[in-house]
Amino acid sequence: MNLTLTQEQFAIDGAVIPAPDTYKPVFSTTSTADSDRDQALEMHNTPIGTIGGYDLTWGTLDWDGIAAIMNAVLNKSRFSFHHKAPNVPGRWIDLDFYVSNMSMEALTLEDGFEEWDGLTMNLRRITAIC
């Protein structure tokens, strides 16, 4: 029997994208409106959920690479992101996200030598972490 090992890759809606140079998980817990500190400064907190996401950056990308990433997320209210999550050990997962912010700079726009640098993208989960 021949087994072929396949390496997992980052993907958006099933389309493989270049791996980011930095991959920073971020989390924000939202609490009920009546969560607050009392006069003794003790916190009375009732979390209602935690939203997770990733701040991603890429170094220099050619035009095809940056287009693959941008075309996968632009103007979409949600997309599936294939990735590793710090709270799900040992496997890659697919969850729905949206992009909140994106920026980059052009290094050169010479014909045939186009390069883009410093793409940053903030992905945020559609649903809370359970």
pTM of the model: 0.81
Identify the residue with better confidence: 7 or 125. 125
| pLDDT exceeds cutoff 70 at 81 | yes
Provide the residue ranges of all domains of the chain, joining segments of one domain with +. 11-32+48-125
Least confident of 6-20, 50-64, 89-103: 6-20
| Six-digit token string for 18 | 């270049």
Cα–Cα distance measured from residue 121 to residue 73, given in angstroms and rounded to the nearest whole number = 10
Cα–Cα distance measured from residue 126 to residue 63, given in angstroms and rounded to the nearest whole number = 29
- Surface-to-core class of residue 95, CB atoms within 10 Å of its CB (0-12 exposed, 13-18 middle, 19+ buried): middle
Using 50, 70 and 90 to split pLDDT, how confident is the model at 125?
A: very high
pLDDT in tens, 44-61: 999 999 999 999 999 999
Output Rg (C-alpha) for the chain, integer angstroms.
Answer: 19
